[in-house]
Amino acid sequence: MLARVRQFTKLTNVEAMGAQAMRRHNVALVMELIARDAPVSRVELAQRTGLTKATVSSLVAELTGAELVRDLGPEPGRAPGRPAGRLVLDPYGPVALGLQFGSGHIAGVILDLSGRPLARELRRFDVAGAGAAEGARAARPVLRRLFDEATTAGRLVAGVGVAVGGLVSRGLVTALPLGWRGVDVRALVAGELRALDLHGLDVLVAGEVACAALAEYQAGAARDWWYLGGEEVIGLAPLNPAVELAGDLGHVPVRRRGEVCACGGRGCLEVYAGRAGMAASAGVADAGAEEPLVSRVRTRDPAAMRALDRAAEALADALVAVRALLAPETIVLGGRLAAFGEPFRQRVVERLAPGLTLRPAKLGADAALRGAAGSVIARVVADPLAWIEG
């Protein structure tokens, strides 16, 4: 008899776990569809998910109650009949914080769930010369001001996303422009949050190129496109957030017996299309985040245009290998190189073989920063129950 009771209890627990897993899946599915297709009605959600209207209504009620989703009501001018509510991610719900470490600055942003920036902070600081620990400490006033903004607006913070100009492997960041090698940035930023008496917040860390790619995707770019750019590095990453693949294209050799690179290699793309390499080629000062070369290009300064040609040729050569390995049809050009505008993009296109489209990015220099905060939003969307249940 006791064995039968135990068996019944075990089966009941398994069924409960299965029901909970199904609920978590369905809530996430509805949340993701609202994020992707907003504004969308409950009827449309039921059609696209295959769930019953009653189930969808119950799930939506849970999401609206947690201030993750907002019902905008019927569309103005809608024909008489039962109104169809338009559902969107709640712009008055929780917010995400983004933090970005550049060579000469630390930037921060607050995004609402719809991806709209609510506040931005910038602190000029020699991060590259200070070291990782001191650089993280320099982010403390930026974090403090962002949290003050969120608190004043009565917003809960869902987490902090961090973008760094480098590669992230097993949680450790190697960012050559900053002089960081194998740095646990997550632990450093979490320590600064604790110093500000801000406990229990998750910190997500990613390379700036992966963050910028996510931001472009969240801004409407196609899932099967690739992002090429970066402010501190020249990187390549898929816009599809489900594909965790990002590389530092800047250290791909494009000249067999080229100039020596900071990484120790020779003939790397970074030497010809990186910030310092282009500045040296044009005979202008490398001013970090402030790009004097851009203004020279706008006035068609001869030395600047030669540097542009040199960079475009090197980038087109690097893309030969990219096309052979990954076969992308469309690449979005963003970051620092996109700041040179159509003249640079056209120069690269002229040197590319047919079949590869190079599009300008929608977002500017803040793409990686917005993507850092966007990674927090993406996590809430992917598992809203984790946020609801705390």
pLDDT digits (tens, 9 = 90+) for 254-301: 988 888 888 888 889 999 998 888 888 888 876 554 568 888 888 888
- Residue 152 half-sphere exposure toward CB, CA atoms < 13 A: 9
Q: Is 95-211 a domain of CATH 3.40.50.11890?
A: no
- Sheet with 203-207: strands ordered across: 117-124, 105-112, 95-101, 157-164, 203-207
**178's tokens:** 């900053």
Q: Do domains 2-89 and 221-361 have the same CATH topology?
A: no
Share of the chain above pLDDT 70, in %: 91
What does the chain come to in residues?
A: 390
pLDDT value, residue 323? 85
- Alpha carbon 2 to its chain's center: 55
**Cβ distance 85 to 41 under 8 Å?**
yes
Per-residue model confidence (pLDDT) at position 119: 95
Q: Please state which CATH number belongs to domain 2-89.
A: 1.10.10.10
Q: Residue 99's pLDDT is what?
A: 97
Contacts of 371 (CB under 8 A, 6+ apart): 98, 161, 163, 206, 210, 211, 212, 213, 214, 215, 216, 218
Mapping DSSP to helix (H, G, I), strand (E, B) and coil, where does residue 98 land?
strand
58-68 pLDDT per residue, tens = 999 999 999 99
Q: Is the pLDDT of residue 30 over 90?
A: yes
Q: How confident is the model at residue 84 (pLDDT cuts 50, 70, 90)?
A: low
**pLDDT at position 353, please?**
76
**Is residue 357 a contact partner of residue 329, using CB atoms and an 8 Å limit?**
yes
CATH architecture of the region 221-361: 2-Layer Sandwich (3.30)
Report the predicted TM-score, pTM, of the whole model to 2 decimal places.
0.86
Mean pLDDT, residues 200-229 taken together:
90
How is the chain split into domains, by residue range?
A: 2-89, 95-211, 221-361
> Who wins on pLDDT, 8 or 230?
230
Higher pLDDT, 345 or 223: 345
| Cα distance between residue 209 and residue 14, in whole Å | 42
Three-state helix/strand/coil letters over 286-348? CCCCCCHHHHHHHCCCHHHHHHHHHHHHHHHHHHHHHHHHHCCCEEEECHHHHCCHHHHHHHH
| CB 41 within 8 Å of CB 34 | no
